[in-house]
């Protein structure tokens, strides 16, 4: 299914979308409707963010506007302009589940959502709204309000252990992160012979879904068949990821529906909730506990930094001090950067790549055997998940740098403000292994939290 589409009735052929597509999947002549080449598209949604061609209630009338809104499955409370490039919505499935008394609904929200959602309610760019986000999800009627940050911490336990094993046991190196579904799809389609370099870890979203329908079902005393799990993501490719046939290791579809940050704003407005007036609330426990390491997954270099904070302990048996926990060499913005990180007697050689437009030279080094790194983080979008295709739409290009900078700063400020900043110090993660998973990279965790990649 094509999760990103361009409406030919609306597209004016300005070609701004093709200019931001990181994989050159949009084709067409100037001033004519553009076409997405599905086989190349990684569904990152940057075209959705950039698109300027629209239909509006004011300019085009109620009948034409209503028709397009209904075609996209959007609530009738949506009155904003509808742009030519858009992501396929699953809002109707979420609304139906929330209204079904037989369904027990669990929701998770990704790290980048909390620094984006408030923008759709008139608050300044990059406002941190973690507490209001939890409160809004609860007011919408979700039975359990959990946090993808928890699963980000879980990902680090699995991915960090996998990395240390590859490094110390001469496994396939460099190991690339696998939490960005657009990047994984690109690797599978363009370089299937190199997928052995991808970490076998599922993304935090999918790890959370698998845990919700096993451990979470047990905690809440529910039959997993009655659970409906929803993810709120800054990413338009996450719906594709949740539909993959590999993502059913709980015995069910691990994540039933995915909505974007923008679509969550639609739901909140539909329910008549005054987001700005909401109190600060916490996510439900224990699957809502998280550390600063889980939080920084939303920015470029964040996965790498979180992994290093834990890898240091796995390799040395010691803890990074509060002064050492900020791994500044891996932070940055768009492009490709490398760093040497001392971990005791080992010097970990790492790379961080943001915006898939920069990936091909790195892949060429990998194919030639000259990419002398242990671990590489790859994010498809310009500055990581904070700039994802599902984030609030930035109508003015001039706002883009400030939005990305403010969202990034809010993320790091949140990390610093948290009492725990390393994934392996999360007590809820420790409890999950004690009660259920046993150990990182163990038999059960491999079944639920890891996967294999297609080769073609």
The DSSP call for residue 86 is E
Instruction: List helix spans (H) across 61-203.
Output: 62-71, 91-99, 130-139, 148-168, 181-190
The helix or strand, by DSSP H or E, that contains position 144, with its residue range, turns out to be strand 144-145
Catalytic residue check, 179? yes
C-alpha–C-alpha distance, residues 3 and 201, integer Å: 23
3-state secondary structure of 343: strand
Q: Please spell the DSSP secondary structure of 57-74, one letter per residue.
A: HHHH-HHHHHHHHHHTT-
Of 159, 263, 334, 377, catalytic: 159
**Sign of the Cα pseudo-torsion (334, 47, 380, 255, in order):** positive
Phi and psi based region of residue 113 (left: phi greater than 0; alpha: psi -120 to 50; beta: remaining): alpha
Of 50, 132, 202, 238, catalytic: 238
Catalytic residue check, 162? yes
Catalytic residue check, 385? yes
Of 17, 179, 201, 237, catalytic: 179
Catalytic residue check, 238? yes
C-alpha–C-alpha distance, residues 235 and 402, integer Å: 20
Of 18, 178, 199, 203, catalytic: 199
Q: Are 400 and 46 in contact (CB under 8 A)?
A: no
Catalytic residue check, 180? no
3-state secondary structure of 291: coil
Query: Hunting for tokens 């990152």 — which residue is that?
Result: 44
Catalytic residue check, 263? no
Of 162, 263, 305, 383, catalytic: 162
Which residues are 6's β-sheet partners? 85
Catalytic residue check, 383? no
Of 241, 263, 334, 377, catalytic: 241
Catalytic residue check, 199? yes
* Catalytic machinery residues: 159, 162, 179, 199, 238, 241, 246, 385
């Amino acid at each position: 299914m094509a999760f990103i589409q361009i409406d030919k009735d609306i597209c004016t052929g300005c070609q701004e979308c093709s200019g931001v597509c990181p994989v050159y999947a949009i084709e067409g002549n100037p001033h004519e409707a553009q076409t997405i080449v599905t086989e190349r598209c990684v569904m990152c949604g940057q075209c959705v963010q950039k698109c300027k061609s629209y239909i509006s209630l004011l300019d085009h009338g109620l009948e034409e506007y209503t028709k397009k809104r209904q075609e996209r499955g959007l609530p009738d409370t949506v009155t904003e302009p509808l742009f030519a490039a858009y992501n396929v919505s699953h809002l109707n499935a979420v609304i139906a589940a929330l209204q079904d008394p037989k369904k027990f609904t669990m929701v998770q929200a990704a790290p980048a959502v909390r620094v984006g959602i408030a923008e759709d309610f008139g608050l300044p760019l990059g406002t941190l709204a973690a507490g209001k986000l939890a409160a809004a999800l609860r007011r919408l009627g979700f039975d359990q309000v959990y946090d993808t940050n928890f699963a980000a911490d879980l990902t680090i336990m699995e991915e960090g252990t996998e990395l240390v094993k590859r490094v110390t046991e001469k496994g396939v190196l460099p190991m690339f992160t696998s939490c960005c579904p657009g990047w994984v799809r690109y690797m599978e389609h363009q370089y299937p012979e190199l997928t052995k370099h991808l970490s076998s870890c599922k993304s935090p979203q999918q790890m959370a879904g698998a845990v919700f329908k096993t451990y979470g079902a047990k905690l809440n005393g529910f039959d997993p068949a009655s659970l409906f799990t929803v993810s709120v993501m800054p990413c338009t490719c996450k719906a594709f990821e949740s539909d993959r046939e590999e993502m059913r290791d709980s015995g069910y579809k691990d994540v039933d529906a995915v909505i974007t940050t923008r679509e969550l704003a639609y739901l909140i407005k539909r329910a008549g909730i005054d987001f700005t007036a909401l109190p600060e609330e916490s996510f439900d426990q224990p699957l809502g506990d998280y550390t600063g390491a889980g939080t920084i997954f939303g920015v470029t270099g964040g996965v790498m930094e979180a992994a290093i904070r834990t890898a240091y302990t796995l390799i040395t048996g010691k803890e990074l001090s509060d002064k050492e926990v900020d791994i500044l060499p891996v932070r940055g913005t768009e492009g490709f950067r490398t760093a040497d990180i001392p971990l005791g007697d080992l010097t970990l050689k790492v790379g961080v790549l943001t915006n898939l437009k920069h990936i091909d030279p790195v892949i060429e080094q990998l194919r030639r055997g000259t990419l002398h790194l242990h671990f590489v983080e790859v994010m498809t979008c310009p500055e990581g998940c904070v700039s994802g295709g599902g984030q609030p739409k930035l109508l003015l290009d001039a706002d883009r740098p400030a939005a990305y900078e403010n969202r990034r700063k809010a993320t790091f400020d949140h990390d610093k403000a948290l009492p725990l900043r390393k994934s392996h110090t999360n007590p809820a993660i420790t409890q999950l292994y004690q009660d259920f998973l046993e150990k990182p990279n163990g038999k059960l965790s491999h079944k639920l939290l890891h996967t294999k990649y297609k080769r073609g």
